[in-house]
A and B are shown apart, each in its own frame.
Chain A
Amino acid sequence: MALAEYKYKDILHRCFRCGYCKFPTNWIDVNNCPAYARFRMESYSCGGRLWLTRAWLNGEIDWTDHLAQIMYSCTACKNCEEKCPLRFNVDIVDMIRATKSEMVERGLIPSVVKEFLENIQRQGNPYGKARAKRGEWIGGTGIPQYEGQEFLYYVGCVGSYDTRAQETARTLGKVLIKAGLPFGVLGSEENCDGNEVNTLGEETLFEMLAEENIQKFRDLGVTKIVTLSPHSYNTMKNDYPRFDGSFEVRHYTQLLRDLITQGKLNFSGGLNARVTYHDPCFLGRWNGEYDTPRQILNSIPGIELIEMEKNKTGALCCGGGGGNFYTDFLAGSESSPARIRAREAYATGASILAVACPNCMTMLEDAVKAEGLEGELAVKDISEIVAEVCGLA
């Protein structure tokens, strides 16, 4: 029991299950832990998981498939960390990761998580699609290969392979070209960033991915990285420095905001629409970036930005983090977090649900369809909204 045993065993019991980990910041309900919202069982909340971990470490319960599913239904959204009143709250998401890590080392993980990790080991993406096809999303867009330009545009697995997210990846590329930004992509040379591998507890695989990526970036002379996904942004900004990989990493919204401010992206029109914005966990709670995406939306003439009741630190996760966009432990119910979030967005009266993450995009677009809201609520990435008002769409 490496991490769980030596680092956390003595503090796990300090969780006395107050249950705050399930609340949003404004206390309006008890459903802000996505797994708890889906299953409504205490064991699926962070506190429940900590107690189960403690019982497992102490030999009071055996490992079961169900125990593993409870751990892996954690999306690492950090709502619990936001709300936990105890001093060790900064570690509670890492405690769950430590439990997953122990399960990985013992080979005791759900089949779909095994598939996810083995696909990344072999093909560098969770879908198990061919490594050689990673650059096919580029199509005929003219998005250039990285050859020492100022910025590396890192797309990530979801943007590279998911059909819907590929559209977003292309659109952002076109916006960056329009802004005259010197940038390039790695195409089929790109590899998984490892953020999800890390949250799933496969530490050695994560280290290998981080080290290989850092080496590749260095060999190519990369100094500045702009990412499509907040997940890539998070790990490259916060984890890669541990492996001596220090790059200037920005999420694309941060770059777009500057390009707009500098007058490099001129809006040819406006967009008369009521828009609500869903905070991606790896941009918001993980990195404290709440304002920039909103500044972009507010800078577009005609857009009326309306907040959902649960927003910023209290936003409900789409349910796609911690590999759940693929492993899907939270699917199949009206209480799936993505469907709850789609209803919350619809309740604002907005016609557009703006996102800034390819995982959120795929999760929420599916949820809007499942809710029968297609045609009433459009899920659009902020880059797609910007492209539209720049006359690119």
Chain B
Amino acid sequence: MDIVVCIKRIPDTADVVGIDASKKDIEKDSLAFKINDWDDYALEAAVQLKEKQGGSITAVTVGPKEWDDILRRALAMGADKAIRVDQDMVTADCYAVAKVLDALIRDLSYNLVLFGAQSEDFGCSQLGVMVAEMLGIPHAALAVSLQVADGRIHVSRELEAGMLESYTIELPALLTIQTGINRPRYISLGGIKRAMSKELQVMSLSDLGLSLDTLAPMVRLEKLELPPRGKEAELISGSPEETADQLARILQNSGIF
């Protein structure tokens, strides 16, 4: 079982978000960065499959040099090889990024492609399914369990209100992984250091036969803005008994109970 896992690096805003002067990005100077949470679950799913079935894991991303840190982490987690397409596409649309990943993945050997179901920053949830369509392989989004048997993959995907939908899909296939499908392991700093000797390949758009001209976005980001402040919150003060009384009265008066 050869698995390709697509991962993204996102800012850990830790409750500090500001919009920069371009109005198209957030201020990133003092932020820390990390692997997108959903992608961490996708990697763990790949590592668990490899532990059971053997095979290989290739972690891929599209981003500038700083993004090597999430690939090093993926290598420490159990990926055998990592590839970074050296192009900053943070503000590009999903379609443009999907075209890059399509060009990259179609030349790799794979049975299964995994994505996180969405990213913590833009949250579009489109990238994985677009890439599946471009590769011409079946897919399931929001996978909450998966098992491989007889060259097929059995997947449950999450619907509304706790409903699950189960599929058996022929391989090769693509899944987008929902959080909670597993418990991603801790990656120690020592583990990352030990994985430094693993292969991390850097490719350019031209290596993939692409150029920025061929990646014209279908959606353009006009501006980012913080949500307007809501009405001022009412702060209740007093002893626990008094505040509980006041809160009960407010809830009663608003018809909640």
Contacts and interface: CB of A to CB of B under 8 A. Distances in A.
B183 interface: yes
B15 A107 contact: no
Interface in B167-212: 183, 185-191, 193
B34 A205 contact: no
B191 to A, nearest CB: 7
A224 interface: no
Contacts of A130: 13-16, 30
Given A123-B32, A204-B193, A104 B188 contact: yes
B74 to A, nearest CB: 13
B15 A205 contact: no
A181 interface: no
A122 B34 contact: yes
Contact of B190 (A129, A131, A203): A203
A113 B185 CA distance: 11
Contacts of B77: 107
B158 interface: no
Most chain A beta-carbon contacts within 10 A, residue among B30, B34, B186: B186
A105 B188 contact: yes
Interface size class of A (residues with CB under 8 A): 20 to 34
Contacts of B33: 122
Nearest to B76: A107
A205 B12 contact: no
Given A123-B14, A132-B16, A204-B193, A104 B186 contact: yes
Nearest to B44: A107
Given A131-B32, A132-B30, A122 B12 contact: yes
Nearest to A108: B185
Contacts of A109: 186
B12 A204 contact: no
Interface in B135-192: 183, 185-191
A87 B30 CA distance: 50
A193 to B, nearest CB: 16
A218 interface: no
Interface of A: 104-109, 111, 113-114, 117-118, 121-123, 128-133, 202-205, 208
Interface of B: 12-16, 30, 32-34, 77, 183, 185-191, 193
Given A107-B186, A203-B190, 6 more contacts: A122-B14, A122-B32, A133-B16, A202-B188, A204-B190, A208-B189
